[in-house]
A = this chain, B = another copy of it.
Amino acid sequence: MACGEFSLIARYFDRVRSTRRDVETGIGDDCALLSVAEKQLLAISTDTLVSGVHFLPDIDPRDLGYKALAVNLSDLAAMGADPAWLTLAITLPEVDEPWLEAFSDSLFEQLDYYGMQLIGGDTTRGPLSMTLGIHGLVPAGRALKRSGARAGDWIYVTGTPGDSAAGLAILQDRLDVADAQQADYLRKRHLRPKPRVLHGQALRDRASSAIDLSDGLVSDLGHILKASDCGARILLDSLPYSEAMRDNVDAEQALRWALSGGEDYELCFTVPELNRGALDVAIGNLGVPFTCIGQVVPASEGLQFFEEGRPVTLDLKGYDHFASH
């Protein structure tokens, strides 16, 4: 195995297009050696993607190369960290050169875009899966944590959550969208989610907490509420929907996808009243809508949903993530 392993790594992954100054030794020794500037904290996250669980087995390798990195960048965005280095451990059933070329081209394109460098990895034979380790840098004391929300803070989301679930439904022939442009938009929201890295950076010192939407809004907001020991009121009328969603999906399904669809990789964050003006200035020009969807309340009030000013009870089946906490 090791022979094939080395030639694989050498050929497809050992191409250093960007050379960061903080990388003293990259791929090719027992460890990579990195320097971290003074007063910077290191932010580290790791995610595994398994074929058939996290992506469709017949996924275009270019989409996979994109999404594998985007999902991990989204974790950095949620901390307000600047992307820096990546490790990639990939398990492949066979050496499929066109596949590897398309996958690695797409991955390196994104790495270059974000000024990142691949610093190490491992290649093994087996069922297709990969584990990425992403490393970012954030000024000490300015990271966005889940635990900073306080009663009275306003709750925001970027973008239009639920689109990714609608896109997946199209890909799996569970949703029919006649308009080709709208269908394409929704599919792209699933296959090519945009990690909100710039938003995360701009939210430092302004948001009191943040998380990225990987499991669904109710579930992920639940993590903030749990870590911050708070409750929340969500105004269902305020939930933002894309035009493609409004035009093609009935209201009940759209609501369900918005609250629990998952894989949107938008940010959900809380902002103290005093910072709302600064927020508009900080992220108003980034070309992505952001919407206030409710307010943080004391933990004793739990998580409540309102529609037309009145509390409503939602059937929380399908919101398992939150139910488990």
Chain A residues near B (Cβ < 8 Å): 1-3, 6-7, 24-25, 28-36, 38, 41-48, 50, 53-54, 75-76, 78-79, 81, 85, 87, 89, 91, 119-122, 124-127, 129, 131, 133, 135-136, 138, 140, 143, 145-147, 210-212, 215, 219, 227, 320-321, 323-325
Count copies of this chain in the complex. 2
The complex places the Cα of A177 from the Cα of B147 at a distance, in Å, of: 58
B30 and A34 form a contact (CB under 8 A) = no
Q: Report how far A119 CA is from B125 CA in the complex, Å.
A: 27
Q: Of the candidates B24, B45, B53, B219, which one forms a contact with A31 in the assembled complex, judged by CB atoms under 8 Å apart?
A: B45
Given A35-B140, A81-B31, A126-B50, do A45 and B321 touch, yes or no (CB 8 Å)? no
Q: Which single member of B35, B47, B120 contacts A45 (CB below 8 Å)? A: B120
Query: How distant is the Cα of A82 from the Cα of B154 in the complex, in angstroms?
Result: 44
Across the interface, which residues of B come within 8 angstroms of A127, CB to CB?
126-127
Instruction: Chain B residues near A147: list those with CB within 8 A.
Output: 29
Q: How far is the CA of A127 from the CA of B147 in the complex (A)?
A: 35
Asked whether, in the complex, the Cβ of A25 is within 8 Å of the Cβ of B145, the reply is: yes
A146-B41 contact in complex given A2-B219, A53-B124, A215-B2, C-beta closer than 8 Å:
no
A-B contact pairs, 24 of them (CB 8 A): A2-B320, A3-B321, A3-B324, A6-B324, A6-B325, A24-B41, A30-B45, A30-B75, A30-B211, A30-B212, A31-B44, A31-B75, A31-B76, A31-B79, A32-B45, A35-B42, A44-B87, A46-B131, A48-B122, A50-B126, A87-B133, A89-B131, A127-B127, A131-B131
